[in-house]
Amino acid sequence: MRLILSISRFAVGFLLSASFSGALAHDEPAGHEISERIHDLEVLVEVQRDGSVRREQVFDLEVNGGAVRRGPIFRYLTLFRGPGDLVLENGMDVTEVLRDGEREPFRAVTEDGFLRLTIGSRDHLLKHRTHRYTIRTVAEGDWEHRDGLTSGTFDVLGPLAGYAIDSARVRLRLPDGVRMERYTPAIRDSRGHSIDVEVSETSTELVFEAGDALPPKSGFFVNAAWPSAGFATRSHWGLILRQHPKLPLTAFSAALLFAALLLLVFRVATAAGRRRSVSAAAA
């Protein structure tokens, strides 16, 4: 049941990201239909011992001059819920972008709740053929800790969901010595129809592969849990203090107000006790 609730929670996040994410040319209007397609997508997700997540997306993008002319633009959702349901930014950073094995220019700009990644140069039009892109990122993980387990849900496609994808595979890797307790992959198209997932395992990672091509606006998620022991995640309180600097002042003000209320109650109770004592003495 907890696993199902977790998937539902992150499915809501996917719907939010799908509403805003896109892959458009630098000079194309929003909402332009994407005519290009991805022939092959492979995603490596590496969970670090400190709780951060390194991702490598490698995909073959067919460019025909339709929606992508100079390079794609992606918008990655960067919000997650931290302690006390506080909304936090995961601090996503794009470390490298390659096209056909060579470094490609890119710009990564943080927006409200998103990281906008613009790939390519305005001065260079792409040749109409299939280009292989590699995008490497690192971000804080969004984990839940309960009953000795650490769990999370991985959005495999992210903004690439705007494309039709011929084949998709994700490799999930945990730190050395940390074993997977349970996992549940799920793929659905835009109409909610389920697509089969083939699961295999190596000595170092789990591999999840879509059993069929994915139409645009599909969702590919992997929910996983592993023992918390030996997995030293960083506390989110550092992020909370940086991203919600007014919170400590608010908490301090609330504490002062509570203390003042207790003092007032104490004084009222003391005064009432004295009045009762005087009345009893007079009687």
pTM equals 0.73
Instruction: Give the confidence band of 254 by pLDDT, cuts at 50, 70, 90.
Output: low
E strands along 79-218, which residues? 79-81, 87-89, 93-99, 102-103, 106-111, 114-119, 130-140, 144-146, 149-155, 164-165, 168-173, 182-188, 197-201, 205-210
Instruction: Return the structure tokens found at 264.
Output: 């007032």
For residue 253, what pLDDT is reported? 60
d(CA 172, CA 148): 21
User: How is domain 2-237 classified at the architecture level of CATH?
Assistant: Sandwich (2.60)
For residue 57, what pLDDT is reported? 97
* pLDDT tens figures, 94-136: 999 999 999 999 999 988 889 999 999 989 999 999 999 999 9
Instruction: Give the confidence band of 1 by pLDDT, cuts at 50, 70, 90.
Output: very low
For residue 6, what pLDDT is reported? 45
Question: Per-domain residue ranges for the chain?
Answer: 2-237, 245-282
Give the mean pLDDT of 138-153: 88
